[in-house]
Each structure stands twice: as structure tokens, then as C-alpha cells.
Structure 1
Amino acid sequence: MRIGAIEAGGTKFVCGIGNERGDIEDRVSFPTERPEETLRQVIEYFQDKNVEAIGIGSFGPIDIDPASPTYGFVTTTPKPGWGNYDFLGAMKRAFDVPYGWDTDVNAAAFGEATWGAAQGLDSCVYYTIGTGVGVGVYAEGRLVHGLVHPEGGHVLTRRHPEDDFAGVCPYHGDCLEGMAAGPALEKRWGAKGAELGADHPAWGIEAFYIAQAVSSAILLLSPKRVILGGGVMKQEQLFPLVRAEVRRLLAGYVRAEAIADGIDAYIVPPGLGDNAGLSGALALGRAAWEREAAAR
């Protein structure tokens, strides 16, 4: 099979071609401009690829309710031109193939459950911590959507006792994204995370906030693996700090061997690395093709 995959980020789009086994055979990326220009490049890329399905993992918020009149739209994003834009409709007008459509983080979670760090498990939670913070939830063998879709980057957090930073989220100020995303690191410390040393106090504070989100996910969803991706998590010194803080917060209440004795294999980076989002979009496309084939 030839499946198209789109990892639609707020900063850049990555488009690729792969097969049903998860092999990515070709890719291209370009900056996210206004939708008409961005989609022109997407359509040009796929024009001669003869894909049988396309999967899209998109930045959001997006409408993923098939019964909604705005299904396939990007909704309340502040990104210029993208608010209330019919992303999926524009693609369908260009290519008459089955489509998988979900959030970029749900796509990454699906990719990790299909071919990555959660392969063989029926549940996982995937956090991306980068320009923003998002969460994808895979539970009992399927992606979780609910009323709209999970927006775990905007949960409220307890404030670190040594942190008086106001937060950068334009909606909530000091929510998880406002306190722990890449722009929050840069504004708080005056430098990008990659420029801060491994022993900088930034990382203890960062782990304090990330661990609150992870602990809450464990208590609410009881996932069999927690995956932490995104640009901020490329600072590998964060993982032992987050794991230790999660144990402290849970205080022995959740009695599971994975947390008590195997936490290094429970809270992990993406098994697919930087391919998690694109591979997840590929998995969405494959699933859409399979659904349509089964309905024939």
C-alpha cells in the first residue's frame, strides 16, 4: 500500500509516504504559513504519489466529531488564517481517498501504540512538550476523543515554591503549557532550553510541573506506558527528574511494579523518536483504509 501522512504542526508541516508496515519511504517539510499557501504545498507534494489513503495529525484545537457540521476544521487556534478553517475539506476536494483525521498528539500516541514504545500494549499516554504542550490518549485499544479531544496541556498545576513566573499561556497564564512549554522556559530564564546546562535549576522546576501532569494521568487513566516527547524532552536529564518526582507525588499509593521497580521503562521517550507524529499519521491513514474496505 501507498499511504500519505501529514504531521501538521503549528510551526511546520511534515508530509510523507509510507506503507502499511509503518515504513516511511519519502518525506518533505516546510514552514506552516497561512492555510492556502500551506495546503498548496501539501497538495503539490501528493499530486503524483498515487496514495490509497491519507492520515492527518493536526495541531489544534480541531473538530473530530464526524456528526458535526464543522468536522475536519481547525477551530479556535490563534494562528493567523487557521481559525475555523476547513482543513480536511480542502484535502478531500483534492484527493478522493479515505482519510484518518485526529490531533497531532493523538496521532503520535497511535504511532507509538502501533509501532513504537507502547507496541503490544492496549493503553498509553503521550505528552509532547515543545512549543506547546499536548496529550494523546490511547486506552483499551482505541484513541480517546470524548466531548472534543484531550487538552492536557492546559490542566492547572500547583506552583513550584521557588517559582514566581506568571506563565505564558494566553488563555490560562500558569497552566501546564504556560509554565512548562519551550516558550515558558525561554521567557523565564532568558535562554532556550537547549542553551541551559544539564545542572541548571530550570530542569528541577520543569520536572516539577511535568510530573504533576504525569501523576494525574496515571491516577485518572491508569495507562500501561507514559511517553514524553517534544523538543523540551530532548534534554535527557529531565527523565530521571520526572520519574523521581512522579514517585514522590504518588507516595506509594498506586501499587504497581511498573512504578515501584520499573519506572525507567514506564516513563520513556518515544520509541519512534522524531518519527512519532508522521508514523502516527501513517497509522491513521491505514486505519481509515481498513475501515472503508471493511464497509464495502
Structure 2
Amino acid sequence: MKLGAIEAGGTKFVCGIGNEQGEIFDRVSFPTTTPEETMEQVIRYFKEQDVEAIGVGSFGPVDLNKNSSTYGYITTTPKPYWNQYPLLGELQKHVNVPLGFDTDVNAAALGEAEWGAAKGLASCVYVTIGTGVGAGALVEGKLLHGLLHPEMGHILIKRHPEDHFEGRCPYHRDCLEGMAAGPAIEQRWGKKGFELEQTDKVWEFEAYYVAQAVTNLVYMLSPEKIILGGGVMKQKQLFPLIRGHVRDMLNGYVQKREVAEGIDDYIVPPGLGDNAGLSGALVLAKQELERA
């Protein structure tokens, strides 16, 4: 199979060509500017490729209900110009192949379950912490949907006792994204995260917030693996801090070996690295082609 993949992010769109084994043969990226400019480049790329299907993992919120009049739309995003944009419909106008569609983080979870850190498992959660915070979940072999789709980036968390930053989420101020996303780090400390690598308190605050989210995910979804990706999580010192906080927060309540003894292999970085989302989009394309 020759499959197309789109990881539609709020900062950039990554497009690629691969196959059903997860091999990626070609990839390009374009800045996410206006829909007209960005989609023109996406469509031009795929018109030059002879693919059998395309999978799209998109930033959101998105409408995943195939019976809805706005299926395939990016809906109430604060991203300028993209509110209520018919992403899938615009692609369908120009590319006559089956199209799979889901959130970017659901796609990443799917890719990690197929070929990455959660390979062979029936459940996992993929959390990305970067420009925003989002999470996708695979539960008993199926991507989690519902009234909308998982919006775990906006869960409510307790404030660190020493943190007086008000939070920057336009909806909730001090939700997880408002306190832990890359822009929150920069606004709180006046520098980007990579410039603060040696400032311990930055990462103590960050780990405290991410660990609360992870602890809640353990309780709510009981995943077999939790994968933490995104630009912020490239600060490797975060993983041991987060694991330690999670163990403390669980406080012995979850008596499973994976948490009690094997937490280093339970809370992990993406096995596919920066290709998790694009690889997941290949799986979406493959599944849609099989359904067609």
C-alpha cells in the first residue's frame, strides 16, 4: 500500500508518504498560517503523489461524528482563522481517495500502539505537552470518542504551593494546559523552556502538574502504558520527577507491578519519537482503505 498521512498541528502541518508497515518514505512540513495558504500546500503535495488513502490527525477540537453536518471540521479552536473550518471537506474536494480522520493525539496513540512504545497492548494514553496540551486514548483496542473526544489537556489540577502564576488558558486560566504548556512556561519565567534547563524549580512545577494528570489517567482509564511526548517532554529530567510524583500521589492505592516496581517502563517517551502522529495517520489511512 502507498498511504498518505497528515499531522495537522497548530504550529505546523506535517505530510508524509508511507506504507502499512509504518515505513515513512517522504515527509514535508508547512507552517500553520491561514487555512487557504496551508491547505494549498497540502493539496499540492498530495496531488503529486499516487496514494491509495490518506489519514489525517488534526489539532482540535474537531467533529468526529460521521452523522454530523460538521463532520471533519475543526470547531471551536482559539487558533486564528481555523474556527469552524471544514478541513476534511476541503481535502475531499481535491483528493479522490478514502480519508481517515481523528485528533492528532488519538492518531499518535494509535501509532504508538501499532509500532511504538505500546505495541501489542490493548490500551494506552498518549499525552503531548508542547504549544498546547492534549491526550489521545486507546481503550480495549479502540480510540476513545464520545460526546466530543478526549480533552485531557484541560483537566483541572491543584496549584503548586509555591507557584503564583495565574495560568494562560483563555477558558480556564489554570487548567493543565494553562499551567504546563510551553507558552505557560515562557510566560511564567520570561524564557523558553530550553533556556531554563538548569533551573530546577521550573521542572519541579512542571512535573507536579503533569504528574497530577498522569495520576488521574491511571485512575480513570487504567491504561497499560502512558506515553508523554511533545516539545516540553524533551527535557529528559522531567521523566524521573514525574514518575516520583505519580508514585507519591498514588500512595500505594494501585497495587500493580507496572506502577509499584516498573514505573520507568510504564510512563515513557514515544517509541516513535517525532513520528508518532504521522505514523498514526498512516494507520488511520490503512483502516479507512480497508473499510472502503
When normalised by structure 1's length, the TM-score is 0.98
Deviation at 1:193, TM superposition (A): 0.7
Percent sequence identity over aligned pairs: 65
The whole-number CA distance in structure 1 between the counterparts of 2:246 and 2:143 is: 24
Whether the 8 Å contact between 1:198 and 1:237 is mirrored in structure 2 is no
The whole-number CA distance in structure 2 between the counterparts of 1:79 and 1:123 is: 30
Q: Secondary structure at the match of 2:200?
A: coil
User: What is the match of residue 242 of structure 1?
Assistant: 242
The whole-number CA distance in structure 2 between the counterparts of 1:116 and 1:57 is: 17
Amino acid at match of 1:163: D
Amino acid at match of 2:139: A
Deviation at 1:198, TM superposition (A): 3.7
Q: Which runs of 5+ in 2 are unaligned?
A: none
User: What is the match of residue 83 of structure 2?
Assistant: 83
Q: Secondary structure at the match of 1:73?
A: coil
User: What is the match of residue 280 of structure 1?
Assistant: 280
User: What is the match of residue 160 of structure 2?
Assistant: 160
Deviation at 1:133, TM superposition (A): 0.1
Matches within 5 A, 1:162-201: 162-201=162-201
Deviation at 1:95, TM superposition (A): 1.1
2:117 is aligned with 1:117: yes
Q: How many residue pairs end up in the alignment? A: 292
Q: Secondary structure at the match of 1:85?
A: coil
User: What is the match of residue 98 of structure 1?
Assistant: 98
The whole-number CA distance in structure 1 between the counterparts of 2:220 and 2:24 is: 34
User: What is the match of residue 218 of structure 1?
Assistant: 218
Amino acid at match of 1:265: D
Over the aligned positions, Cα root-mean-square deviation in angstroms equals: 0.7
The whole-number CA distance in structure 2 between the counterparts of 1:81 and 1:238 is: 34
* Residues 114-152 of structure 1: per-residue CA shift (max 9 Å, x gap): 110000000000000000000000010010011100000
* Misfit runs of 4+, over 6 Å: none
When normalised by structure 2's length, the TM-score is 0.99
Matches within 5 A, 1:245-256: 245-256=245-256
Amino acid at match of 1:161: P
The whole-number CA distance in structure 1 between the counterparts of 2:93 and 2:219 is: 43
Whether the 8 Å contact between 2:197 and 2:235 is mirrored in structure 1 is no
The whole-number CA distance in structure 2 between the counterparts of 1:48 and 1:190 is: 44
User: What is the match of residue 149 of structure 1?
Assistant: 149
2:50 is aligned with 1:50: yes
The whole-number CA distance in structure 1 between the counterparts of 2:6 and 2:48 is: 16
